[in-house]
Amino acid sequence: MMFGAPPDGAATLKGRVEDTSGGAVAGATVIVACPGDARNAKSGDDGRFEVIGLAAGRCSVSAWHVSFTPTAIDVTIPGDGTVSSTVVLPVRALEEDVVVTATRGSRERIDEVAAGVSVVSASDLRLRPYQALPQALREETGVAVQQTTAAAGSPIIRGFTGQANVYLVDGVRLNTSAWRSGPSQYLAWLSPASIERIEIVRGPMSVQYGSDALGGVINVLQGPPPFSVTCLVRGIAAAVPTAC
């Protein structure tokens, strides 16, 4: 595939896409970008690719595969003939969820926590239809929602509600054991626009959060306010649109 009108060229680029152990990476997308010309190709089962008709000059050869970290190298294309190149793709690092609610004051990997834990990201919230924040938790394991009015809702964690659950906002208590014992609508007061993630710990957490943490703990972690300077700088630094 060509982007724009390529100049006349007689050079050929032959190459191979491989991993850090020297194994072939099949099905990688290879893009050769030269001044005034850009072309792409796919690596075969042996990791090899070929791009013909390139003009002389310094070109960038980048390779991408879903299981690897994208990599780019520079290659000098001669006036004619064939040049060879190898692009090495490191294996993409495994992503992991880290929770801060299960153990106060420390971060733990979600698969190392000795409790039932759910993490709801901002992207998850955007995919769920809800009017009040508690309604967005209906899809989480072990969580039900009692709804009194259209703009309210009280989470029920393993059969416990009201003062038997602890609500936190950035680790600071929102409710206390002195509040009403029935369904409490306090989470509905929070604006979903400022939420970055929600951590839910199911099961008794009284040792860390007090005797009222019987059903579990819900910790709402907020990000920068929408349209804030911090949010703008974050988007510019990432060079991609942000949720802000």
**CATH (residue range 2-89):** 2.60.40.180
Considering the domain delimited by 98-222, tell me its CATH architecture.
Beta Complex (2.170)
Chain CA centroid to CA 58, Å? 35
Q: Which residue do the tokens 């509905």 mark? A: 188
Rounded to two decimals, what is the model's pTM? Answer: 0.52
pLDDT tens, residue order, the chain (244 aa): 444 444 455 788 999 999 999 999 999 999 998 887 888 899 999 999 999 888 888 889 999 898 888 899 999 988 778 889 999 999 876 555 677 776 766 677 776 776 788 888 888 888 888 888 888 888 888 888 888 777 778 888 888 888 888 898 888 888 877 777 778 787 888 877 778 889 888 888 877 887 788 888 999 988 765 555 555 455 444 444 444 5
**Pairing relationship of beta strands 37-42 and 48-54 according to DSSP bridges:** unpaired
Helices (H), the chain: 122-126, 206-209, 229-238
In the chain, where the domains are located: 2-89, 98-222
pLDDT for position 241: 46
Quick one: CA torsion of 35, 38, 44, 50, rounded to 10 degrees? -50
